[in-house]
Amino acid sequence: MSVRNVFVVGLDEHNRKRLEHLRGAENYQFHGVIEPTEVYDTEIFPIEDMLARAETQLKEFSEPIDAIVGYMDFPVSTMLPLLCERFGTRSTSLESLLKCEHKYWSRLVQREVIAEYIPRFTAFDPFDVQALQHIGEAGLYFPFFVKPIKSSGSRLGFRIESPEDFSYAVARLCEGIGTISEPFNYVLEHANLPDGVRSVDGGHCMAEEIIGGWQCTVEGYVFQGDVVPYGIVDSIRYPQVLSFFSYRYPSRLPSSIQTRMQELTRQVMAHIGYDNAAFNIEYFWDEVQDRIWLLEINTRIAQSHCDLFEKVDGVSHQQVTVDLALGQLPDMPYRQGAFKVAAKFFYRVFFVDATVSKVPSIEEIETLQRAFPGTFIAVQVDVGTRLSSLPEQDSYSFALAYVWMGADDDVALEENYARLAEQLHFEFDDIVG
């Protein structure tokens, strides 16, 4: 078999190593397109310029281009259909992708088939001084949640309990929304949008009824029209706050709830017309009301889950992304990994702001990773880092480190992390509580 050339947007060395462990990787040559620093750890996305430079690089490649893939959220996810269309490689259509990523359009489409599983919602312009009144006229009252039409992680998401909360959130949204709205609007210009969606551009926001419960993510893909959910990961939050504590795989949800979520996933993704690409859907299960809520649809695998699938199933679910882009049915193993359970933990501080004065040394990190086999620790700050400068944070805390661990059961997993966390030492100056 001849070597197949797979271009990866924003490829870094950590993910190159993961990709080289995929099934069939001996027959693939992975190439980076667009430097990882342009899509990691930044909130500036000159998407038109990035697309132009990517196109130039790809046109200069003298061999066949067999696939163009990515494993990240905005701007990578929205760039892929444009690049793939220009070079004749496989991807879902731009319109089907935007029916997931444009949060207002996505809710409209979801309402057509699974209305009882989504919250009340409306779009609003954060620069409109009467925005709060319009939200009330749409039937939404305190408390509710607001976020940009094109959100990225938990950034610029706020729970609104009062007019004062709304004023604070709108000020933050007006200040920061342009970094996403301008590049997202460039993508929207290339799509065939309904009139009711085109008028709600990337500078708008969503207000939604508060939903909650046991949160999880259904990872799935569509291959030649067949929707396949293949794994469910639990998302566990710190008590009483919106910040994530860990992602855990496999899910501990009741099997009947997992089955129902898989059915809803098949129903909504088929209706959207999404095809030949990976996705994931975030859900809540309200245990008290025994009710399932669909939170949002993402048009990629969750990169945070790659190590979890590798630990439990035997290979990163980047396998799905690459196989689909090459026109192959994904060759994803099941429960062939070294661990029964795995998690990504978020080591956080709940300051308003601070400056980092001490971080664990490389030697300390390596010692901890050896003490807990299979563990990988990724420190997210350096000495001198001002926490408020960190990109892609939620509105309530700062993640100082990510810790991926595996174990034979959930009790051992949580105990091992607690022991490790006690030995991760950070110090701070200029703390704003």
Mean pLDDT per block of 10 residues along the chain (433 residues) reads 92 94 97 88 82 96 97 91 97 98 98 98 97 97 95 80 97 93 94 95 97 97 98 93 92 98 98 98 97 97 96 98 98 97 96 94 97 96 94 83 97 98 95 83
Q: Which is it for strands 67-69 and 158-160: parallel, antiparallel or unpaired? A: unpaired
**So what's the pLDDT on residue 242?**
77
Dist CA 168 CA 160 (whole Å): 9
Which amino acid appears at position 128 of this protein? D
Q: What is the largest CA-CA distance in the chain?
A: 64
pLDDT of residue 41: 65
Q: CATH 3.90.1170 in the chain, residues?
A: 341-432
CATH superfamily, region 120-210: ATP-grasp fold, A domain (3.30.1490.20)
Query: Which ranges in the chain are annotated with CATH 3.30.1490.20?
Result: 120-210
Distance CA(128)–CA(134), nearest Å, equals 9
Is the peptide bond prior to 254 cis by the omega test (within 30 degrees of 0)? Answer: no
pLDDT at 393: 79
Q: Which two tokens stand for residue 301?
A: 């695998």
Looking at residue 208, what is its pLDDT?
Answer: 97
Count CA within 13 A, CB hemisphere, residue 227. Answer: 19
Instruction: Kindly state the DSSP code that residue 290 receives in the 8-state scheme.
Output: T
The pLDDT assigned to 1 comes to 64
- Quote the CA–CA distance of 353 and 129 in Å, as a whole number: 29
Are the CB atoms for 99 and 271 separated by under 8 Å? no
- Given this model, what pLDDT does residue 154 score? 64
341-432: which CATH topology? Aldehyde Oxidoreductase; domain 3 (3.90.1170)
Rounded-to-integer distance, Cα 404 and Cα 417, Å: 9
Beta-carbon count within 10 A of 330 CB: 18
Question: Contact at 8 Å (CB) between 391 and 153?
Answer: no
What are the two backbone dihedrals, phi and then psi, of residue 169, each rounded to the nearest 5 degrees? Answer: -65, -45
379 has which bridge partners? 401
Find the distance separating the first CA and the last CA of the chain, reported in whole Å: 60
